């Protein structure tokens, strides 16, 4: 993987190619970040068992510099949403996401986190965690195998390596990321970001009722 660091336009003598790399600052910075991602330690359902298996000696995700799973969101920069996302759990997920360190990433693991899975028609299940927090990588499966999750990690590494400082939202905001309003759990799950749409729909419905009555 270190061979990818060498800048294609700069010729490195053959006798020192094994010890010297020539790269841009941004390329080296992103390469270091992609090899030091710290996942947050939490799981929601059966996908979490596969996530635990991925940390075992057979698959050993410490090869990617990711073995430090943090129990505190303030020390983690990767959220793995592993399992069924219920309406009761969404406010807690959003709260943890807001507390994570910048730059932060989200990996949606399994059919349930991606779109509701076999429980999509249930009254208590959310049809995809991406309705409430931004997702960077989707890993399909029910549940995905540890190999599939590792492939998702590799895709996340590629995304990080392809970023440029012009796209760094945390750089533009001086290290302060956008905080997502916490969804409100009442008779149903309510997203405060949808207030304008809900008000517009209510006004339109009221106008239709009055027009039909008049």
| pLDDT tens-place string over residues 196-206 | 888 888 888 88
pLDDT, tens digit, 9 for 90 and up, residues 116-156: 988 888 888 999 999 999 999 999 999 899 999 999 999 99
Range of the domain at 1: 1-34
Considering the domain architecture, whether residues 61 and 164 belong to the same structural domain is answered as yes
The dihedral of CA 142, 79, 35, 53: what is its sign?
negative
Considering the domain architecture, whether residues 43 and 112 belong to the same structural domain is answered as yes
Give the DSSP H or E segment for 158.
helix 146-161
Considering the domain architecture, whether residues 57 and 25 belong to the same structural domain is answered as no
pLDDT, tens digit, 9 for 90 and up, residues 92-104: 999 999 999 888 9
Considering the domain architecture, whether residues 149 and 205 belong to the same structural domain is answered as no
In contact, 66 and 39? CB cutoff 8 Å: yes
Exposure on the CB side of residue 1, measured as CA atoms within 13 A: 14
- The C-alpha atoms of residue 207 and residue 214 are separated, in whole angstroms, by 10
Considering the domain architecture, whether residues 13 and 81 belong to the same structural domain is answered as no
Closest CA to 161 of 9, 36, 11, 8: 36
Considering the domain architecture, whether residues 67 and 6 belong to the same structural domain is answered as no
Considering the domain architecture, whether residues 46 and 88 belong to the same structural domain is answered as yes
Considering the domain architecture, whether residues 21 and 117 belong to the same structural domain is answered as no
Report how many domains make up the chain: 3
- The C-alpha atoms of residue 34 and residue 187 are separated, in whole angstroms, by 41
Considering the domain architecture, whether residues 71 and 2 belong to the same structural domain is answered as no
């Amino acid at each position: 993987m270190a061979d990818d660091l060498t800048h294609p336009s700069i010729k490195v003598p053959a006798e020192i190619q094994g010890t010297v790399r020539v790269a841009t600052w941004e390329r080296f910075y992103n390469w270091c970040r992609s090899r030091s991602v710290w996942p947050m330690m939490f799981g929601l359902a059966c996908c979490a068992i596969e996530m635990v298996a991925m940390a075992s000696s057979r698959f050993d995700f410490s090869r990617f510099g990711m073995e430090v799973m943090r129990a505190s969101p303030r020390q983690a920069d990767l959220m793995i949403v592993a399992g069924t996302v219920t309406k009761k759990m969404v406010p807690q997920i959003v709260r943890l996401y807001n507390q994570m360190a910048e730059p932060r990433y989200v990996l949606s693991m399994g059919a349930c986190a991606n779109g509701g899975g076999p429980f999509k028609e249930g009254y208590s299940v959310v049809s995809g965690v991406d309705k409430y927090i931004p997702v960077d990588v989707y890993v399909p499966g029910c549940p995905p195998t540890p190999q599939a999750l590792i492939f998702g990690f590799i895709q996340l590494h590629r995304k990080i390596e392809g970023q440029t400082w012009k796209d760094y939202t945390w750089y533009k905001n001086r290290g302060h990321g956008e905080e997502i309003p916490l969804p409100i759990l009442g008779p149903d799950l309510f997203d405060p970001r949808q207030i304008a749409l809900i008000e517009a729909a209510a006004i339109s419905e009221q106008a239709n009722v009055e027009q039909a009555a008049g």
